Structure 1
Amino acid sequence: MRVLEIAGICIFALLALLFAIFFRRRLLRVGGGTIRLQVRINTIVLGRGWSPGLGQFVGDELRFHKMFSLAIRPKRVLDRQSLTVEEKRLPAGPERLIMPGHWIVLRCRTGSTDLEIAMAETTVTGFLSWLEAGPPRDPGSLRGRPVFGPRPAES
């Protein structure tokens, strides 16, 4: 009888944990502005180190929440002001085994760090639109984003 009680408690704890994980995911999706993506956390082994999760657009930030986590805070926060896309490519090597065929890998730079994120091809279009829809930046701060409008008067 004691073994059945322990097994029942373990099963109940496992179900409670699964419920908490899926409830957290549901809460993140309720506000809208969420996408499925993967962020490369570890680059030690070529093609590995990808972490699946949800990206949540909040103002000028893309907040990355790991898929199978109980954490309320995001794992990473990407600021639109300092984020540039350096390269766009298809998954290669072992990446093809862990990502759906229609996903694209983006190599980004945020400040002085490089970062790789992967998302569906249709999501890439929306992500790039969000990235370009931000307010204009100083032309010397980051390359690739022209600033429109009148030029300042020269003295």
Structure 2
Amino acid sequence: MRILEVFGICVVALLALLFLVFFRRRLLMAGGGTIRLQIRVSTLVPGRGWSTAIGQFAGGTLRIHRMFSFAFRPKRTLDRSSTTVAGRRLPEGPERLTMPGHWVILRLATTLDEIEIAMAESTVTGFLSWLEAAPPGQPGSVAPRPAIRPDPIEQ
């Protein structure tokens, strides 16, 4: 009887952990502006080291949250003003087994280091648009025209 109680407690704890992981995912995606991607966390073995993640756009940053984690803080944050695309390629070797065939791998250069992220081709288009866009007044954007003021009426 004691074995069944321990087994039951373990099953309930496992179900509670799974519920928390999926509830966290639901909370992150509820705000909108999210994409599904993979981020390379280790380069020790060629073609390996990819982790499934959720990217959340927040103004000029992309917050990258690992999918199977309990943390509400992002694992990585990319700033739009300091991130550039250094390369683009298709999955090769063992990578083809871990990600869908229509995904593209982007190598991003930041001011600190280089990282690789993978996402669907359709998502890449939106990501590149976000990366190249900037609100008015940012360096490299077109400055607004000055307003034309009428001459004051002299009396």
TM over 0.5: yes
Look up the match of 1:30: 30
Q: From the superposition, tell whether residues 43 and 99 of structure 1 become closer, same or farther in structure 2 (CA, over 3 Å).
A: same
In the alignment, what sits opposite 1:102? 102
CA spacing shift, 1:35–1:149, aligned 2, 3 Å? closer
Aligned length: 142
What amino acid does structure 2 have at the position aligned with 1:123?
Answer: T
Q: Distance in 1 between matches of 2:4 and 2:102?
A: 46
- What residue is the counterpart of 1:143 in the other structure? none
Q: Deviations over 1:64-87 (max 9, x none)?
A: 100111111010000001000011
Match of 1:54 in 2: 54
Unpaired segments ≥5 residues, structure 1: 139-146, 151-155
User: Equivalents in 1 of 2:124, 2:67: separation in Å?
Assistant: 19
Query: 2:77 is matched with which residue?
Result: 77
- Residue in 1 that maps onto 2:91: 91
Instruction: Rate the CA distance shift 1:46–1:6 in 2: closer, same or farther, 3 A.
Output: same
Distance 1:113-1:119 versus aligned 2 partners, 3 A rule: same
1:71-118 deviations in whole A, cap 9, x for unaligned? 110100000010000111100111101010000000010103011000
- Percentage of matched positions with identical amino acids: 65
* Separation in 2, partners of 1:28, 1:87: 29
Question: In the aligned structure 1, how far is the partner of 2:3 from the partner of 2:89?
Answer: 53
Aligned to 1:15: 15
State how far apart, in whole Å, the 2-side matches of 1:6 and 1:15 are: 14
- Give the alignment's TM-score, normalised by structure 1: 0.88
The CA RMSD measured in Å over matched residues stands at: 1.3
Equivalent-residue separation in structure 2 for 1:69 and 1:53 (angstroms):
9
Cα distance change, pair 5–129 in 1 and its aligned pair in 2 (3 A): same
Q: State the match for 2:150 in structure 1.
A: none
Q: Deviations over 1:13-72 (max 9, x none)?
A: 000000000000000000000000001011111111111110000111101100111111
The alpha-carbon deviation at position 134 of structure 1 amounts to 1.7
Larger Rg: 2
Q: Provide the C-alpha distance between the structure 2 equivalents of 1:18 and 1:124, rounded to a whole number of angstroms.
A: 30
1:141 match: none
